[in-house]
Amino acid sequence: MENKFTKNLKRIMFEKNITQKELAEKLNTTQSFISTYQTGARNPKPETVEKIAKALGVYAKDLTEDKDETENKNIEDSDIKQFMNLKFKNIEEEILKLKKQFGTKLIKLEKEITEIKNSSRRQPR
């Protein structure tokens, strides 16, 4: 049975489209050395996990914990705020676009409605 590190290493390398050779080059080691980790023949020391994580552009815990555990832990408050700011900015931009697109039409409609109301009040019954 694969351990968490082995499973996560394979998944992350696949997701990032990184070969054993490319990772080995980033770590200044050999492809066979990376292979021992990817097959589960060896378990890396914590400092090696850190180096591999850095080379892959992920957190060490992304390699050592279950995927759903790390997904929740990787979301920081600053990430949430940044996401929300982006969403609000997008909403504001969309509102501005709609105002530009429909603003003059709405003003014309309001005038027409007002004219219709006024003319219907002036007409004798």
Tokens at residue 100, please?
Answer: 């530009």
- Residue tagged 């060490």 (tokens): 60
The amino acid sitting at 36 is T
What is the per-residue pLDDT across 105-123, written as a single tens digit (0 to 9) for each?
777 777 888 888 777 766 6
Tokens at residue 106, please?
Answer: 């709405």
* Terminal CA-CA length for the chain: 89
What is the per-residue pLDDT across 53-107, written as a single tens digit (0 to 9) for each?
999 999 999 999 887 654 555 555 666 666 666 666 677 777 777 777 777 777 7
Cα dihedral sign, 51-52-57-62: negative
pTM higher than 0.85: no
